[in-house]
Structure 1
Amino acid sequence: MANHLHYLLNEWYPERDNAEWVLGTVYETEGPCYRKAGAMMLFSSLGQQLGMLSGGCLESDIQRHAKKVMMTGEACTLTYDSQDEDDLSFQLGIGCGGTVHIMLQPIHAGNGYLSLDVICAQLEQRKSGFYYQRIVTNGAEYRSELYPLREDSPARG
């Protein structure tokens, strides 16, 4: 996943201030799903989509929600349940038979780019670390933090 994230962030970093951006993260899955928890995707106000959060079937709907996040500046969560007859993914006849939970967060200088600029630099230097995203769906708390590994950490490698 680090190589995938490195690619996404290298594409995003030079454009980070040229458009509005939203980070989409799969934070939980239930049953069979194309992408697992931790998958990330970036959406821009110019229509750019970097990465994927599903097998390609949900991205246009996620983009629509990402535009709302850009307009309001507030993070949100989405759930796609391909077994629920009332859910969009079921109605379109797409999906993998599972449920995908996604968090969308605005990315801008005011929120420290969600530390994605720091992660980009660390990946460029081949450093390890942890990216922690706190999600509270009903309490509406969305927070991202970066925990770099210490230079002498045995997990580094």
Structure 2
Amino acid sequence: MSQYPQGDPAYQSTPPAGQTNFERTMGDIGGSGPLSPQQERTWATLSHVVPLALFILSAGTLGFVASLVIYLMYKDRGPFVRQNAANSLNIQIAMGIGVVISWIMILTIILSPIGVLGLIAVAIWGCVLHALAAVKANNGEWYKPPMTPDFVK
């Protein structure tokens, strides 16, 4: 007996010629055409959620990679996802600069307490901005994170 319901069209219908069920299901991931508004909102939200999760899980080292990958994959597929992915990348770049400056202060021993406070402040600032931007993206609202330079447009 199949684990899928008998009437489920995703498993009953045949895909278009030359396309497998997997390609039809996952088409928006590797495709090159424009995204639907719902897909744009989803990827715009993920452009903030994934880097935030990776930033937390990797102690601040992998969030940048996620932002860059989403930006490069989806920048030409819709203006909303492009803007959010660019914002995510800008937040990550600004956080990276803040982390490097904080570590330099920590290593100079004299400024060590200021560097630790700076490191904590940068982490909180980035997490809050990513969380706010993810909520705005999920609601379909355009948002420019405050105190974030435009390194990527």
Normalising by structure 2, we get a TM-score of 0.25
The structure with the largest strand share of the pair is: 1
Instruction: Return the index of the structure with the highest Cα Rg.
Output: 2
Normalising by structure 1, we get a TM-score of 0.25
The structure with the largest helix share of the pair is: 2
